[in-house]
């Protein structure tokens, strides 16, 4: 099978992960790098692929079949639209865009030009999450009723040396909680409304360091999510799932999904259910599913190829990215107004 040639636009922290994986992937090949930075030019030389300062010049010269957009959030929409208009399939890193309006533009263009757009919520591609989704979809939990998610950890002080991380939009809501909201939407379905309180009390920056969020799903289930990047705690999907090599793995759970018949933890996939008798006087049985974590970014590239070939439907479409962004930005609105925010539906 011929590999699908893809280009990476934006060769920074996460762009380099995509470059590295694309360069040795079974289904895609690295065709070019577009990023005005000198480090990107050197990276392209070391990968023996053409380098471009401007993504449009790259698109028109190399004509890749697909691109990964890993640039700063505010540039996602203009770059994605340039790709979509040229018929080039897109993975755009999360958040899909800087604003809900830009996200809608990408989603509309993807539909209008019939060009697939995937959003880089890579957790959806982890075999652990795939299994959890199968379990929930199979009905084994019964009716989904409640979920608890923890996103608690400690970012080092020098992380905040960069100004934008201390100001609005640079906090754990848009950087981290967005992944938890997307994961919960992936498992329990679309959201109806949310309430939230945020705090900047510990670090004292303009941006929040902590948030408590209550989610209501359209199926009636409720979830609470506790997020903080200023606490000495291991309960965070990134630490627990060991998905990202730069974080030390902690053998804990971060998500608890409860239904009328059984409950499930993530990422350890502990399934708790009654096997004889059913009530609080009866013992619950714990079943564990042994699953090795796979690299979700590698799987995401395999899926990208399959979507571009029309063999698979997007696991995280532009519309999914839009819905997740709407909910995440609504956290700040809910915190400012103190009111419940109703989320748009289809």
What is the binding site for ligand NAD (CB under 6 A)?
A: 9-15, 34-37, 40, 55, 70-73, 75, 93-94, 120, 122
- Tell me the closest approach of the beta carbon of residue 126 to ligand NAD, in angstroms: 12
Of 256 and 297, the one with the shorter C-beta distance to ligand NAD is: 297
Q: Indicate the burial class of 231 (C-beta count within 10 angstroms; 0-12, 13-18, 19 or more).
A: middle
Of 73 and 210, the one with the shorter C-beta distance to ligand NAD is: 73
- Tell me the closest approach of the beta carbon of residue 313 to ligand NAD, in angstroms: 21
Question: What are φ and ψ of residue 314, in 5° steps?
Answer: -55, 130
Q: Is 252 helix (H, G, I), strand (E, B) or coil?
A: coil
- Tell me the closest approach of the beta carbon of residue 137 to ligand NAD, in angstroms: 24
- Tell me the closest approach of the beta carbon of residue 40 to ligand NAD, in angstroms: 6
- Tell me the closest approach of the beta carbon of residue 138 to ligand NAD, in angstroms: 28
Of 170 and 259, the one with the shorter C-beta distance to ligand NAD is: 170
Of 155 and 218, the one with the shorter C-beta distance to ligand NAD is: 155
Of 144 and 321, the one with the shorter C-beta distance to ligand NAD is: 321
Is the backbone of residue 114 left (phi > 0), alpha (psi -120 to 50) or beta? Answer: left
- Tell me the closest approach of the beta carbon of residue 12 to ligand NAD, in angstroms: 2
Of 76 and 141, the one with the shorter C-beta distance to ligand NAD is: 76
Q: How is 93-160 classified by DSSP, letter by letter?
A: ESSS-SSHHHHHHHHHHHHHHT--EEEE-GGGGSHHHHHHHHHHHHTTT-SEEEEEEEEE-B--GGGG
Q: Strands 117-120, 191-199: parallel, antiparallel or unpaired by DSSP?
A: unpaired
Residue 299: name the closest of 129, 144, 44, 146 by CA. Answer: 129
Token pair belonging to 177: 């909680």
- Tell me the closest approach of the beta carbon of residue 8 to ligand NAD, in angstroms: 9
Of 122 and 253, the one with the shorter C-beta distance to ligand NAD is: 122
Return the residue nearest ligand NAD (CB atom): 12
Q: How is 223-240 classified by DSSP, letter by letter?
A: EEEEEESBS-----HHHH
Q: Is 226 helix (H, G, I), strand (E, B) or coil?
A: strand
Token pair belonging to 36: 């005005």
């Amino acid at each position: 099978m011929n590999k699908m040639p893809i280009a990476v636009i934006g060769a920074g922290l996460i762009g380099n992960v995509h470059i590295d994986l694309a360069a040795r992937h079974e289904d895609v090949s690295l065709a070019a790098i577009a990023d005005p930075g000198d480090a990107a030019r050197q990276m392209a030389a070391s990968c023996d692929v053409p380098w471009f300062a401007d993504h449009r010049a790259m698109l028109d010269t190399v004509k890749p079949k697909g691109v990964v957009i890993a640039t700063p959030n505010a540039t996602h929409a203009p770059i994605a639209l340039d790709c979509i208009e040229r018929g080039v399939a897109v993975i755009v890193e999360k958040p899909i865009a800087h604003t809900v309006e830009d996200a809608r533009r990408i989603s509309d263009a993807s539909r209008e030009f019939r060009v697939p757009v995937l959003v880089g919520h890579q957790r959806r591609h982890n075999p652990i999450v795939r299994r959890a989704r199968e379990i929930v979809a199979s009905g084994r939990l019964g009716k989904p009723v409640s979920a608890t998610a923890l996103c608690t950890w400690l970012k080092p002080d020098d992380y905040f040396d960069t100004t934008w991380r201390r100001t609005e939009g640079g906090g754990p809501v848009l950087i981290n909680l967005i992944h938890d909201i997307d994961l919960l939407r992936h498992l329990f379905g679309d959201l109806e409304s949310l309430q939230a309180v945020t705090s900047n009390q510990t670090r004292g920056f303009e941006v929040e360091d902590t948030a408590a969020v209550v989610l209501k799903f359209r199926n009636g289930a409720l979830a609470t999510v506790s997020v903080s990047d200023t606490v000495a705690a291991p309960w965070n999907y990134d630490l627990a799932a060991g998905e990202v090599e730069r974080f030390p793995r902690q053998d804990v759970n971060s998500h608890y999904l409860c239904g009328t018949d059984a409950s499930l933890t993530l990422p350890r996939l502990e399934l708790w259910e009654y096997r004889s008798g059913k009530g609080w006087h009866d013992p619950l049985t714990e079943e564990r599913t042994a699953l090795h974590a796979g690299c979700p970014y590698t799987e995401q590239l395999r899926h990208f190829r399959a979507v571009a070939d029309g063999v698979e439907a997007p696991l995280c479409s532009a519309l999914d990215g839009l819905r997740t962004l709407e909910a995440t930005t609504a956290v700040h609105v809910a915190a400012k107004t103190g009111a419940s925010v109703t989320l748009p539906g289809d």
